A and B are shown apart, each in its own frame.
Chain A
Amino acid sequence: MAECHPVGFRWVMEAKRRGATIIHVDPRFTRTSAVADLHVPIRAGSDIAFLGGIVNYIITNERYFDEYVRNYTNAGAIITDDYADTEDLDGLFSGWDAEKGQYDPDTWMYKDVPVAPAAGQREMFTGEPRSERGANIRAEHFDHTLQDPHCVFQILKRHYQRYTPEMVADVCGISKELFLEVAETLCRNSGRERTSAFCYAVGWTQHSVGVQYIRTAAIVQLLLGNIGRPGGGILALRGHASIQGSTDIPTLYNILPGYLPMPKASFDTTLREYIEYNGSASGWWAEFPKYIVSLLKAYFGDAATADNDYGYGWLPRLTGDHSHMVTVADMVDGMVKGYFVMGENPVVGSMHGSLHRAGLRKLDWLVVRDFAPNETAEFWRSGAEIDRGEVRPEDIATEVFFFPCAAHTEKDGSFTNTQRMLQWHHAAIPPPGDCRSELHFMYHLGRRIKAMVADGNDPKDDPIRALTWDYPTQGEHEEPDAEAVLKEINGYRVSDGSPVSGYTELTDDGSTACGCWIYSGCYADGVNQPARRKPGREQSWVAPEWGWAWPANRRLLYNRASADPEGKPWSERKAYVWWNEEQQRWEGHDVPDFIADRPPSYRPPEDARGKDTLSGIDPFIMQADGKGWLFAPNGLLDGPLPTHYEPMESVIRNPLYGQQCNPARIEWRRRDNPYHRAFDDPRFPYVITTYRLTEHHTAGGMTRWLSWLAELQPEMFCEVSPALAREKGLTNGGWATITTARAEIECRVLVSPRVADITIKGRTYHQIGLPYHWAARGLVTGDAANELVAFVADPNVSIQESKALTGNIEPGRRSRGRRAVTGEPLGGPQPDEVPRDLEPARRAPGHHGIVISRSQAGEQT
């Protein structure tokens, strides 16, 4: 955190000054470790074992926050009798369907709850992606004593009983004593008077079991009562100025703005069916129809009427996983003709650069928008295969457009930061030359396209003709007014165009339009709320008048949990929001994240519907049952409880189970994406992990061209331990070549004890640390680390595994004339495979997890 979010880390240091204990868990010793009270150098890829050990410690020693767990989580919920755990099946859960290569989650369900109404499950069985959010279910049976063997708490206890301190030591490669110190410190700093927070970044997400990493932290925090309370939580430290915003108002294939699912072809045929399958009868998502109808009104304006389902039929439909890696693989197979890349550099920032370039070579056209032509824009003359002479620019037919972009200082707009806070940036000067904002590019592209179809009558062009696209422009460049877009995002009354003050004013009868319901309120009273800048020193410590946070300017989500079931703060020290009995309202330092006048004593009547099903002690209002889920009966594709699996490529056999890897992982079994042996591959004996440096930013597009930063970090390097340097003859400052079956890269060697050697059962394993900022263009150049990484992904979110893989290192520079992906696998002949899956989970290679695209069917080897 000190390396990648230095100014955010100031607050960690402030907490330390006030007595907080800082624990840093990372294979690499960084500037964070240097000031932490404890540095825990676990093996890359072993976090679930580590966190699972903490769960076990909390339960075994009865350190959980009893009143919080009983009232605010699903600990007492009874699960079906048919549920079988990884304890019973050696690393698999019940319900593995060998034919489909995926889980059937029926047995993970609450007892006696019919499974049919939950959208997520249907999607799993059609190969169509699940909904992004919790499903529409509530437990039927509870054991409030937490003793029933089928209740969540007892299942949790059994599931983690083998995650003992000794086992943690053997999986993570740290001492039992260090582990116990972490577990005890965390427990000691949680409870009524104290809270602990977790901070993480892509070191947790970029794994074939990444979603379950974060789930494990959620279990720890729910057990300790650290969610919805000041100083608690699980904080995703996001790496880009508006990466949170890019998810809220997504440019993601599976969601519409505000986490509304994209329609799926098989089920969501009409608006009625879409609402039936994706809405919820209980909890806050019961409001779903208001949000989708208001979005359709924002998109299609007067053309959206009750008679035509508000234009719902014009939305395109999903038939499977259309995510980034699937699209790139389709590109390689010639199925994608055109590609827009805006402010992104996938041949450096994404895995397996040579496969990306192979895809770009198959395009008819490519549009790149950035400050200067990056490696993606220059793929036709830059890349290992060009250097080796295997591919000639003259043979590449792709047409490439490079558009120079405007900087944030040259345009108005809002960023959403890592705490969901929108902040407006104002244009200081106009952009130079032909540089333009993406707002300008999209608006004028849309204007042209609308003109092209204006006089036509092809039904497929109807949505283009209906699309509201009349944003006012200003200045000689005809720059669209970003505030007009913000107003549409906020939502307005169709009758008079006046902005709504929040999502509670939205309707499902077409009388309101709203581009993103969770952002509703950002333009309340016609005021640009994200542009508010009341100085921090002139307001409370929550600073509610600086910028605007979704939803409803709440700064801390689920903050009802900061008060006890009666609505009183758990302690004076940790008071945040509370129930005012006199006023019959919730109040506090922040906007209460609860129904404002619902008393703690409220219990829903039998016939309650919608929001009325949330009782006065249900803080997690976005869940249909209002409870924090220790056990996830639905919504996940790879199990209801996090389980330690080894990465796709590991150095050891899974010490916990016979099942080696996440059985539901997404693989791309194709010749141009070779995998290493599951473990103990003699060609690739070392662990590789990748990371960032303070002085550069991701794929380098905003830093490698700047002399101030280039001078501070001028050259690609690897970090290796003194022991590995001795073993391989590597010298500090010298060259090394790092190889996987996908690629080989060269870099300078930094010999330091900062990347820990791992000792497990007497055997030492070495780890190689790689920053991934460099590539062929810019002021400072070098080989790109991500060339080494394979296409393999988490089944829930299709994110790649780049934080734990295997490889080899040799002293000296890489060969120049050698073929990589296009020829024989690097590193020599493939050794005999060792199974990644138990016999019941095994089927034709490539069928683990969801079948990911049409093209894959014919491409499996």
Chain B
Amino acid sequence: MGSAGRALLGWPVLRQVLERDARGLGATARSARTESLAPRTRDSDEVVRSVCPYCAVGCGQLVHVRDGRITDIEGDPDSPVSQGCLCPKGAATYQLVTGSYRVHNVLYRRPHGTEWEVIPLERAMDMVAERVMRTRAETWEELNDDGKPLRRTLGFAHLGGATLDNEENYLIKKLFTALGAIQIENQARI
């Protein structure tokens, strides 16, 4: 069949008649362009298994990566918890992790300051370590009034969110306990 014949047979009205799809809502709605479309997840370099970071149901997520960037996040059909589903928040995870709202620099507000300043990460870490140890030294409590050991500081406190990993919480509790800090709290009490 020549190209003219193919064009004629491809004519939508004729296809609708031949394929008894008068309203054009069936297979005749497909076009050559339809055939060329594919989900952007098809060419992912890697699909990484993950878990939704919002509520505690723990829906499975598939993180699609291409050229070193996240291209999409979808529900994981293998999960016996969620069977591929995500709710509105879970479905917005792609925007959560790739959004332009995210700040990529360490910000510093000096005492009495009216603006943020960008400072290097390493310097900021040094500054925090220095302040922790200074506060700890200034507020150390060795014994209580009865002479019992306290070995602690009430000079600094911590409040953690409940989207932190178990391994992160483990290091938080471990380091702060070794430092003698006890006001270590979490969203779990709120």
Q: Do A and B come from one complex?
A: yes
Complex interface residues of chain B between 167 and 190 (CB less than 8 A to chain A):
167-175, 177-190
A460 on the B face (CB < 8 A): yes
Which residues of chain B are near A535, meaning CB under 8 Å? 77-78, 80
Judge whether B78 and A242 touch: CB under 8 Å.
no
The yes or no answer to A705 lying at the interface (CB within 8 A) is yes
Contact of A265 among B99, B149, B183 (CB under 8 A): B149
Q: Indicate the member of A7, A449, A779 with the most B CB atoms within 10 Å.
A: A7
Given contacts A344-B160, A409-B73, A694-B89, contact A705 B99 (CB under 8 A): yes
Asked whether B5 is an interface residue with its Cβ less than 8 Å from the other chain, the reply is no
Instruction: Let me know if B166 and A705 touch, CB within 8 A.
Output: no
B169 and A245 contact, CB distance less than 8 A: yes
Stretch at the interface among B18-26, B27-35, B124-132: B124-132
* Chain A residues whose C-beta falls within 8 Å of the C-beta of B65 in the assembled complex: 428-429
A338 touches B135 (CB 8 A): yes
From 338 to 362 in chain A, residues with beta carbon under 8 angstroms from any chain B beta carbon are 338-344, 346, 349-350
Interface flag for B7 (CB, 8 Å): no
- How far is A541 from B105 in the complex, measured between Cα atoms in Å? 46
Question: In whole angstroms, what is the CA distance A443 to B170 when docked?
Answer: 11
Contact of B104 among A408, A434, A448 (CB under 8 A): A434
Contact B167 A410 (CB under 8 A): no
A5: B residues at CB distance < 8 A: 55-57
Hey, what's the 0/1 contact readout for A561-573 against B, CB within 8 Å counting as 1? 0000000000000
A838 in contact (CB, < 8 A): no
* Per-position 1/0 for A440-481, Cβ under 8 A of B: 011111101100110000001001101101000000000010
B16 at the interface (CB under 8 A from A): no
Given the complex, which residues of A lie within 8 Å of B131, measured CB to CB? Answer: 338, 364-365, 399
Q: Is B144's CB within 8 Å of the partner chain A?
A: yes
Bound Cα distance A777, B135 (Å): 31
Whether B159 and A341, one on each chain, are in contact in the complex, defined by CB atoms closer than 8 angstroms, is yes
Q: Which residue of B lies closest to A427 (CB)?
A: B48
Are A327 and B185 in touch, CB under 8 angstroms? yes
* Cβ B171 vs Cβ A485 within 8 A: yes
Interface residue from B77, B103, B162 paired with A372 (Cβ < 8 Å): B103
B154 in the interface (beta carbon within 8 A): yes
Instruction: Report B-chain residues with C-beta under 8 Å of the C-beta of A443.
Output: 171
Kindly provide the distance from the CB of A542 to the nearest chain B CB, expressed in whole angstroms.
Answer: 9
In the complex, what residue of chain A is closest to B79 when comparing beta carbons? Answer: A536
A407 to B168, CA, bound (A): 13
Q: Are A694 and B87 in contact (CB under 8 A)?
A: yes
Give Cα A217 to B155, complex, Å. 40
A393 close to B (CB within 8 Å): yes
Residues of B within 8 A of A798 (CB): 189
Among A269, A336, A469, point to the contact of B155 (Cβ < 8 A).
A336
Knowing A299-B177, A346-B159, A415-B166 are in contact, say whether A241-B53 is a contact too (CB < 8 A).
yes
Chain B hits for A433, CB < 8 A: 104-105
How distant is the Cα of A448 from the Cα of B174 in the complex, in angstroms?
Answer: 15
Could you give, for residues 676-704 of chain A, a 1 whenever the CB lies within 8 Å of some chain B CB and a 0 otherwise?
00000000000000000011111001110
B86 to chain A, nearest CB (A): 7
Distance in angstroms from B91 CB to nearest chain A CB is 8
Q: How far is the CA of A242 from the CA of B87 in the complex (A)?
A: 17
Q: Is the CB of B172 within 8 A of A251?
A: yes
B contact residues around A531 at 8 Å (CB): 49
Contact B167 A482 (CB under 8 A): yes
Which of A4, A464, A536, A706 is in CB contact (< 8 Å) with B95? Answer: A706
CB contacts between A and B, total, < 8 Å: 469
Q: How far is the CA of A703 from the CA of B104 in the complex (A)?
A: 18
Closest residue of chain B to A243 (Cβ to Cβ) is B162
Q: Check A486 against B167 for contact (C-beta < 8 Å).
A: yes
**Given A316-B177, A434-B104, A536-B83, does the pair A338, B157 have CB atoms closer than 8 Å?**
yes
Q: In the complex the two chains form, is B160's CB within 8 Å of A246's CB?
A: yes
Which residues of chain A are near B8, meaning CB under 8 Å? none
Which of B81, B99, B139: most chain A Cβ within 10 A? B81
Question: Across the two chains, which residue of chain A brings its CB closest to B126?
Answer: A448
Chain B contacts of A547 at CB under 8 A? 58
Question: B86 to A533, Cβ gap below 8 A?
Answer: no
Establish whether residues A241 and B51, one from each chain, have CB atoms under 8 Å apart when the complex forms: yes
Q: Does A709 reach chain B (CB closer than 8 Å)?
A: yes
Contact of A429 among B53, B70, B81, B86 (CB under 8 A): B70
Cβ contacts A476-494/B at 8 Å (1 or 0 each): 0000101001101100000
Alpha-carbon distance between A248 and B171 when the two chains are bound, in angstroms: 13
- With both chains docked as a complex, state the minimum distance between the C-beta of A358 and any C-beta of chain B, in angstroms: 15
**A residues in contact with B124, CB < 8 Å:** 401, 403
**Residue on A nearest B184 in the bound complex, by CB:** A251
Q: In the complex, are the beta carbons of A252 and B189 less than 8 A apart? A: yes
Partner of A262, one of B55, B113, B157, B182: B182
- Whether B138 and A337, one on each chain, are in contact in the complex, defined by CB atoms closer than 8 angstroms, is yes
* Contact partner, A409, options B60, B63, B129, B184, Cβ 8 Å: B63
Cα A411 to Cα B50 with chains together (Å): 10
Which residues of the other chain, A, contact B102 by a CB distance below 8 angstroms? 371-372, 404, 432, 435
Q: Does B58 contact A418, Cβ atoms closer than 8 Å?
A: yes
The verdict on A648 contacting chain B, using a C-beta distance below 8 Å, is: no
A372 to B106, CA, bound (A): 10
Residues of chain A within 8 A (CB-CB) of B76 are 533
Instruction: Using known A-B contacts A241-B54, A299-B174, determine if residue A797 contacts B190 with beta carbons closer than 8 Å.
Output: no
Smallest distance from the beta carbon of A139 to chain B beta carbons, Å? 32
Question: Contacting B160 at CB < 8 Å: which of A251, A414, A437, A448?
Answer: A251
The reply to whether A340 and B156 contact each other, CB–CB distance below 8 Å, is yes
Chain B residue with the shortest CB-CB distance to A786: B190
Beta-carbon contact of B178 and A404 below 8 Å: no
User: When the two chains form their complex, are residues B88 and A712 in contact, meaning their CB atoms are under 8 A apart?
Assistant: yes
Q: Is A422 an interface residue (CB 8 A)?
A: yes
Known: A239-B55, A341-B159, A401-B106. A485 touches B85 (CB 8 A): no
Return chain A residues, CB-CB under 8 Å to B73: 409
Shortest Cβ distance from A535 into B: residue: B78
In this assembly, does A395 line the interface, its C-beta being within 8 Å of a C-beta of chain B?
Answer: yes
Question: Which residues of chain B come closer than 8 Å to A237, judged between CB atoms?
Answer: 55-56
B89 contacts A409, C-beta separation under 8 Å: no
Chain B residues with CB under 8 Å of A421's CB are 58, 81
Q: How far is the CA of A411 from the CA of B103 in the complex (A)?
A: 17
A698 to B151, CA, bound (A): 36
Are the CB atoms of B150 and A317 closer together than 8 Å? yes
Q: Are A250 and B112 in contact (CB under 8 A)?
A: no
Chain A minimum-CB-distance residue to B108: A401
Specify the chain B residue showing the minimal Cβ separation from A266: B148
Kindly list chain A residues whose C-beta atoms are within 8 Å of the C-beta of B182.
253, 262, 316-318, 322
Q: Least Cβ distance of B25 to chain A in Å?
A: 29
Which parts of A513-553 form the interface with B (CB within 8 Å)? 515-516, 519, 531, 533, 535-537, 539, 543, 546-547
Q: Which residues of B contact A754 (CB under 8 A)?
A: none
Do A394 and B112 touch (CB < 8 A)?
yes
> Are A316 and B152 interface neighbours, CB within 8 A?
yes
Contacts of A486 in B (CB 8 A): 166-167
A739, B61: Cα distance in complex, Å = 42
Tell me which residues across on chain B come within 8 A of A399, comparing CB atoms: 108-111, 131
A-B contact pairs, 15 of them (CB 8 A): A8-B55, A238-B56, A241-B55, A251-B185, A253-B184, A319-B150, A338-B135, A380-B109, A401-B124, A418-B56, A428-B63, A442-B168, A448-B125, A535-B77, A797-B189
Sample of 11 more A-B contacts, CB < 8 Å, known A7-B85, A319-B150, A407-B53: A251-B172, A256-B173, A337-B155, A338-B155, A343-B162, A407-B96, A407-B97, A428-B50, A449-B175, A536-B83, A705-B99
For the complex of A and B, list the 6 residue pairs with the smallest distance between their C-beta atoms, beginning with the closest. A343-B161, A433-B104, A536-B80, A413-B165, A417-B58, A240-B162
Residues of B bordering A, CB below 8 Å:
46, 48-61, 63, 65, 68-70, 73, 76-83, 85-93, 95-97, 99, 101-114, 116, 120-121, 124-129, 131-133, 135, 138-140, 142, 144, 146, 148-175, 177-190
